[in-house]
Every structure is written in structure tokens, then in C-alpha cells.
Chain A
Amino acid sequence: MTTDHAGSVTSDHAADIDRHVRIYITVFVALMVLTIVTVAVSRFHLPVHIAVTVALLVAVIKGSLVACYFMHLISEKKLIYAVLALTVAFFIALLTLPVLTVHDGYWMR
């Protein structure tokens, strides 16, 4: 953290934090809009496979915004990315394996 000898924040650092705060506000507005979109789309009573795709797509966008900006993943170190890459691989396997066991075409109805 960049501070002067008195322990206060330097102007460069303060400007950097202010820039971050503006991003947080923008992301907050985007998340609100996407929440409204999610609820609005559900009112159309689309076929299951389309409704699931749209809902999960919006949720992935919202989740990515939270992870990238609020959790600062967009500027994180390589080790964190490595840990998360491994987690994502196992997470996908965890979600996919049960689906592969079902062959009655439920999602196609």
C-alpha cells in the first residue's frame, strides 16, 4: 500500500482507489439490471431448455462480474488462477457426471 511517512494515502493511490470505487458502482448497476432481466425472462414461460440456458447465462455473467471486480480476480496472481482452474475442472465434472447418467431426454422436452 502506498503511503507517505505520516501514514496517510498518497494522491496517486487515492486516485486509484477512487477509480476502483467508480467500477464498483458500475458493476452494482449492471447486477441490478441483470437481476431484473432474469426475473423478466422467467415471466415468458419459455420451454425448459431455453429457460435454463438463459437463466444460467445471466447468472454466469452476474457471477463473473462479482468474481472479477468485487473479488478482484481480474488482477489476481497466477497461483490463485491455478487453484481456481483446478476447482472449475472438478466443479464441471461434479455437475456433468450426474447428467450423463440420465438418458431419457429430459432437457429436450
Chain B
Amino acid sequence: MAGLKEYLIRRAITFIPTIIGVTLIVFIIANIIPADPARAWAGGERARPEIVARIRKQYHLDDPWYIQYIFVMKGIISYFTSPTHEGAIVNPLTSRYIFDDIFLRFPTTFQLALFAEIFILTIGIPLGLISALKRNSWIDTFVRFFALTGTSMPIFWFGYIMMWIFFTNLRWTSLAGVPLPRCYEHGTCPVTTHIPIFDALIAGEFDIVMQIIRRFWLPGFVLGFRAAGVLARIVRNSFLDALSSDFIEFAKAKGLPKRWIWKHALKNAFVPVITVIGLQFGSLLGGAVITETVFGLPGLGRYTVNAINYLNMPAVIGATLLFAFIYMVVNLVVDIVYSAIDPRIRY
């Protein structure tokens, strides 16, 4: 695998200007609001002037923008570098560390995305392969129709319809709370991943696992539905492309067994598929905000929307940054997998 290491280093270096750019955009967003956030944070119109003044000083609201920027960035970095979170940025409304709040909500969004991704892959890939093999059959038409309706449906509308079917009528899902493993309370978890479903699995609390599945499968399905249809179409097209390429013709002419031909075709078909999965992850994160709202999940998306409503700019900065960071990391991983599968990419 010569060259992979150099490629990874190069790719990691381009990561740095982008992440600085991302923090700048987030910072600009936070500074668009002309209203005085300090007053809102101190409790609105009746806030005591000395408290407002203290908050203004604490958050450097009277200083020029670059000092504010450095203050915010320092606040973010020091949360992760200092073990006591010395100097980390604090939520002005609750006086808790921003990232404490964010990491409290993150597992919910992670589990939602996990369930969605499971649905996307288990529906999208097999359906795409079947429709490529049975080209122009009813199942091919169905997949086309599925992809079209999936991309056309407002996610909240689909969510409410599914909720009506599976909650109101069938009671196959629950809508209240987020189940947590019991070992969190007693502190007896053998390993803590901070993701409830994994921790419950490791601790052997299978009833909790079932509860989590019951709570999350429907939102996950709703969130993944759109992407699953699109993925099926992509899998179909790239598999057909691969099957009709010269090296497959050659393999057939050589008399290779069908199993081998399939293996070659599949490997080549999955190069574009992996890119699509990475790109779709962005709309998955965006859709998660709406899905969390529909199903009342207290995740990162809900947190962001609430923070916006309270003009809680430090929280908005933190949450938006985390979203961008997750998306960037996913795309980085996709690029790495991509270059591992297809060595031609590493130019």
C-alpha cells in the first residue's frame, strides 16, 4: 500500500484550513444578531444593569471581533485540553460548560443516526442489487418509485404519518423519554462508551436494549427512508455500469465462475456507493434535527434549535461546530476507505 500514508497526510493537512474556515463562519453567524444578547441572557428587560455589564465583560461582547473570536476558540479548545475544563466556554443561561450540555445530548443523536444508517444500508444495498439483476422488471420500477417518493416527501410529514400508523394504532413504538441502562445510575458499567445501547449490550441489560430499539427504530426508519431509496438507485446504476465494463466481459470470456465475476463487479460498484453514503450523511444530520422535533427526542438538533430560540450564541457555536466536525470526519473516513479500495484516487 505504498502512497496511502502520504495521501492520508496530505488529506489531513487540507483538513486544517477548512476547520478554521468553519469556525470563522460559525463565528460570523453568532455575530449577525444586532440585539444585545447579554440582556437576554441576564433575564430580559428587567435584568439588573450590573449583571448585564458583568456578562458583557465575561463574554468580551464590547471587544473587537477578533478578540471575541480568540476568546471563543480558546473556550472551545481549553474544554478538550484542560482536564478541569479551566477557562472553557460556559452556557450563559445555565452556567454549565457548553460541551457538557452537548455531550449529554450527543448519544441520542448518535443512536438516531445509527438506526437510520442501519436502515439505509440494509434496505438500500440489497434493493439496489436486486433491481440491477432484475432490470426493467416490476421490482426495478418499484425501486425507482421508492427513490422518487423518498426524495419528494417532507420528512416531518412522513414522520407524522408513520407515527400515526405505528404509535397511535399499532403501539409498536414508544414516544416518551430515552431509555438508559441501569448501570449508569449505579456506576457498575463494565465499559463506558457513553452510547446507551452499546453500554446496555455490554452490561447484558437486554430489556433496556429492547426498550432503546422500541424508542428509536421508527425515527431511524423515517430519517433513513429518503436516503435508502436514493442509495438503492445508486447501487443499481453503479452495479450495472460495473457489470457492463470491459474487465467483466474479459472475465466472462475467460470463463471465470459467476461467483468471481460478481466479486469483481461488486468491488468496483462500491467505490461510488461509498462516496454517496458519505455525502448523504450531511443530509442525515440535517434531517435529524427535524426528526428529533417530530419524535420528541432530546438530541443535539433539538438543543441547537432551542439555543437559537434563546439567542444562546455560545451554545449555537458549539453545536454547529460539532455538527460540521462530525460531517467532516465522516467524509475524511470515506476518503480513506475510498483510497484504500481504489488506489488510483491517491494522486
Asked if A pairs with B, the answer is: no
**Which A residues lie at the B interface, using CB under 8 A?**
none
**Which B residues lie at the A interface, using CB under 8 A?**
none
